[in-house]
Structure 1
Amino acid sequence: MPFDYFVIFLALLAGLLLGLLAGFFWFSKGKGISRALQAEIDGKEQELQQLAVQLSQKRSEIKAAEVEAKSTAKEIIAEAKLQANELESKQQKEQARLEEKEKGLDEKVKEVERQRTALQREQQDITELKLELKDAQQQHRSALEKVAKLSAEDAKTELKHELTEEFSGFFAQEVKLLKEKAKEDYEEEAKNLLAQAMQRYASEVATESTATIVQLPSDDVKGKIIGKEGRNINAFEMATGVDVIIDDTPGVIVLSGYDLARRYVAKLAMEKLVQDGRIQPARIEEIVAKMKEQVGKMMLEFGKRATEELGIAGYSQDLLKIIGRLRFRTSYGQNVLKHSVEMANLGRMIAAEIGADESVVVEGCLLHDVGKALDHEVQGTHVEIGVEICKRYKIRPEVIHCVAAHHEDIPMQSAEAFVVAAADAISGARPGARRESIEEYFRRLKELEEVAKAFPGVQRAFAISAGREVRVYVDTAQVDDLKQQQLAKDIAQRIEKELTYPGVIKVNVIRERRVEEMAK
């Protein structure tokens, strides 16, 4: 298109020049044309001729380009038609293939529908057969009940009883084998774990004495302690809360009281008074107040030492003082603070072996008996008091759960709670850890034997191994092998429910039959 405009422009320019020349010639008639003007006209004519030649060349080029463009367009059109034909052919083939598949699917759907209809008919036939079979079984059962004169439930009960009597020995042996097989997998590993923990933590085996004795330089001091009309001893007992026992034993007096902390304050105060020599009510009150303050500082120091030894930080001084108070508290003769620290070390080792949280276990062990520090002053069990103390001083909920569950007052819901309970049992049950009075010991053994004898079929029961095992002899006519297993389990459950005891108790049920005959 730009080339066409150019040609038109040249033509207009040529016409304009020709018009100018004609006009000039018209207005200059009769006048001579100068040579210069004639030369210019000649030059313009030559330019017009050259432009005409160029115009002719351009027209030729345009025609050639048109011919080439038409040829190219024909080729493109032909190629496009060829591709269109190929695509149409492919589309027709794909359409045919899809129609074939659709036809096959329709046939498959019809076949599935035929099979579904047949299956429904078969299911209906099976349901009818089941109903007929059930009716036939009911009729057959009714006929059998009429012939045997027993109902189905009675027959089941009688069959169960006969099978139990006939195969009781076999079942008992199978139960025993299954138990032994199950224990083989975990019992040895548990024993090794506990043994390693106990071996790694070897603490001294010692018990706290519950009797507090004060040595005197001479028996003459006893009179000063009593004072005129007993005023000194009465003032001392009122200030300390303990009883002072003065008898004929030379050189000693005995301080008696249920609170070891009070007895310790009384012991320090008495020793100070005896050393000072001025024993009178006012002096007694002054010395006792100083000793109470001193013991309070000692409690705080004991609490700090325990937490530092176990790597626990962040406890308030009031809580540390309560923990230190456990140093003056005993359980079955075992010092509670030493027991708690020992538990924490054992628990840490066990927790490390099984992958439990060591910090939670250590805190739970240290605080599990913290309620015993105040159980003489506050209503409730030591577990309830301990939980309240932990809540008051914002102890972590995981640790509070260990404290609340260590005697299984609530279900244990964490591995750490189980570790705390296990460490408590290990520390309390090891030889020499705890002791009790001879009367309490005999009473516990008697109760243990009475619980075992209360079951039918038991002939004799003996508590042995310091009350850690009860040996039960049963009547072979009343107790078979299967009942023997159940009896041992029932006795153990009743002991757990009704008795209080340290450690664990083994229940050993013995069933033996002896036959004697005389040779004459």
Structure 2
Amino acid sequence: MEIVIGLVAFLVGGGVAWVIFAKALSARNRKIIQEAETEAEVIKKDKILQAKEKFLHLKTEHEKEINARNAKMLANENRLKQKELSINQKIEELQRKTKEAEVAKENLTAQTEILEHKNEEIERLHRQQVEQLQTISGMSGEEAKEMLIESMKAEAKTEAMSYVNDIMDEAKINANKEAKRIVLQTVQRVATETAIENSVTIFHIDSDEIKGRIIGREGRNIRALEAATGVEIIVDDTPEAIVLSAFDPMRREIARLALHQLVTDGRIHPARIEEVVNKVRKQVEEEIIETGKRTTIDLGVHGLHPELIKLVGKMKYRSSYGQNLLQHARETANLCAIMASELGLNAKKAKRAGLLHDIGKVSDEEPELPHAILGMKLAEKYKEKPEICNAIGAHHDEVEMTTMLAPIIQVCDAISGARPGARREIVESYIKRLKDLENIALSYPGVMKTYAIQAGRELRVIVGSEKVSDKEAESMSYDLARKIQTEMTYPGQVKITVIRETRAISYAK
């Protein structure tokens, strides 16, 4: 019985518990559903808000795009209107010019008819005048024609001589000392046994005792020096001096620096000589590259090939008629840049061509070529622009000038070499040239005195007025110019002035 009661109580309790659990579960589910609905409502509102914002953003962008397209279309429309207006104006201008051309053509036709009529009238009057002249002078037409031809020949000869003088003066402005250039350049670029001023360096020593040490036992030291440097070392009776002779200035500089180090150090023997010469050679090569780089930086010339920079540095050890080649190249580059700027051309290209125009003088390749052609080939080899290469090759007229840079390089090269003091001459040759100028002029009949002035750039010739006429004086100046040009070598140009004057002298007593 108790068991039944307990079982009933358990079932009743279980049912009550199930009812309570079911109610609690139902309330929790309703709460969860409410929260989910609330959250869904919030998400829905957020999504709607985001959609509205995106719609507004897209709408704004669309409006901007439409406005931009409208503005572009408006600009195109305005541009088309302007073109249409311009075309209409051109059409009107063309129509107006066509009408003017037609009117001018009609006027020209009328003037041509009038001119033909006048020509016929002039010919008729000319025939009448010729007949009257023949009647008055008693000369035939052939005789008068011969007299007129002789008169015109004399006048034409005078005018032609004046014209030739003008042409010759203009041509001489850019003339170069070709013979001297070739001789000096050949000495510098080709080995020669002839020692001249441009192939000798004097090395000064403190005492003549050092000469014996430089010569060494049985001459082994001096032979080692000559073999290592390629320079002939002359040790003679000249006090406190040793002569270094070679055609290559760079070799002479290496020999001079090596001798200086050896004499300063005091250890002079073949092994030490070879070591010092190699060391100095490397120093000189480094200095050449550094000089080339510094020069290009100073001038603002960039992008040069390393080999071209090395050639620019080598110019420091070359000279042209006594003028340092590197200084000449720098002067020419600056002059070219200024002249190109004044002419409205590219100043950087002009400066680049001016710097490189003489690189053929320092190259060891193909020494039988003229330096301008060799320089052009080197520039082409190292990828310089065609106008730069042409300017280098044409600055002595070896090739045809194809750009405006070429005549600028030619003129500036002549300016740099022609300024007073730029290039030196031996005094004896200078004096001889002045005497030769005066003697050539004295060989002409009627010449009384001659004076070579302005360092041989002008020759003044005084002739007797009773022996030489004005026309003969003009002819003499032309002949003298041709003779001097043919027989002499001189820098720049020589101005020949023939002076003829009449003096009337009387005395009051």
**Aligned twin of 2:310:** 321
In structure 1, C-alpha distance between the alignment counterparts of 2:487 and 2:372, rounded to whole Å? 19
Question: 3-state DSSP class of the match of 2:452?
Answer: strand
Say how many residue pairs are matched. Answer: 367
Seen in structure 2, the aligned counterparts of structure 1 residues 466 and 215 have a Cα distance that, compared at 3 Å, is: same
1:127-146 Cα distance to aligned partner (Å, 9 max, x none): 9x999999999999999999
Matches within 5 A, 1:473-484: 473-476=462-465, 479-482=468-471, 484=473
Instruction: Letter of the 1:305 partner, please give it.
Output: R
Matches within 5 A, 1:84-483: 154-160=146-152, 212-374=201-363, 378-409=367-398, 414-449=403-438, 452=441, 460-476=449-465, 479-482=468-471
Q: 5+ unaligned residues in a row in structure 1: which ranges?
A: 1-118, 184-207
In structure 2, C-alpha distance between the alignment counterparts of 1:132 and 1:149, rounded to whole Å? 16
Instruction: Letter of the 1:155 partner, please give it.
Output: M
**Aligned twin of 1:189:** none
In structure 2, C-alpha distance between the alignment counterparts of 1:489 and 1:359, rounded to whole Å? 42
Q: 5+ unaligned residues in a row in structure 2: which ranges?
A: 1-112, 171-196
Structure 1 residue 378 displacement after superposition: 0.8
Structure 1 residue 353 displacement after superposition: 2.1
1:254-293 Cα distance to aligned partner (Å, 9 max, x none): 3233322111011011112223333233433333233222
Structure 1 residue 476 displacement after superposition: 3.8
Give the TM-score taking structure 2 as reference length: 0.59
Give the TM-score taking structure 1 as reference length: 0.58
Instruction: Letter of the 2:424 partner, please give it.
Output: R
In structure 2, C-alpha distance between the alignment counterparts of 1:284 and 1:256, rounded to whole Å? 18
In structure 1, C-alpha distance between the alignment counterparts of 2:471 and 2:400, rounded to whole Å? 30
Question: 3-state DSSP class of the match of 1:511?
Answer: strand
In structure 2, C-alpha distance between the alignment counterparts of 1:267 and 1:242, rounded to whole Å? 10
Contact 1:375 1:385 in 2 (8 A): no
Instruction: Letter of the 1:160 partner, please give it.
Output: M
In structure 2, C-alpha distance between the alignment counterparts of 1:455 and 1:361, rounded to whole Å? 47
Question: 3-state DSSP class of the match of 1:224?
Answer: helix
Seen in structure 2, the aligned counterparts of structure 1 residues 148 and 408 have a Cα distance that, compared at 3 Å, is: same
Structure 1 residue 505 displacement after superposition: 3.3
Seen in structure 2, the aligned counterparts of structure 1 residues 233 and 460 have a Cα distance that, compared at 3 Å, is: farther
Question: 3-state DSSP class of the match of 1:431?
Answer: coil
Structure 1 residue 369 displacement after superposition: 1.9
In structure 1, C-alpha distance between the alignment counterparts of 2:358 and 2:338, rounded to whole Å? 20
Instruction: Letter of the 1:159 partner, please give it.
Output: S
Contact 2:199 2:246 in 1 (8 A): no
2:496 to 499, 504, 507: 507
Instruction: Letter of the 2:273 partner, please give it.
Output: I
C-alpha RMSD of the superposition: 4.6
1:167-205 Cα distance to aligned partner (Å, 9 max, x none): x8xx89xx89xx9xxx9xxxxxxxxxxxxxxxxxxxxxx
Instruction: Letter of the 1:502 partner, please give it.
Output: P
Which of the pair has more CA radius of gyration?
Answer: 1
Seen in structure 2, the aligned counterparts of structure 1 residues 140 and 380 have a Cα distance that, compared at 3 Å, is: farther
In structure 2, C-alpha distance between the alignment counterparts of 1:457 and 1:365, rounded to whole Å? 48
Question: Share of identical aligned residues, percent?
Answer: 42
Seen in structure 2, the aligned counterparts of structure 1 residues 461 and 218 have a Cα distance that, compared at 3 Å, is: same
In structure 2, C-alpha distance between the alignment counterparts of 1:243 and 1:376, rounded to whole Å? 23
Seen in structure 2, the aligned counterparts of structure 1 residues 343 and 132 have a Cα distance that, compared at 3 Å, is: closer
Contact 1:428 1:502 in 2 (8 A): no
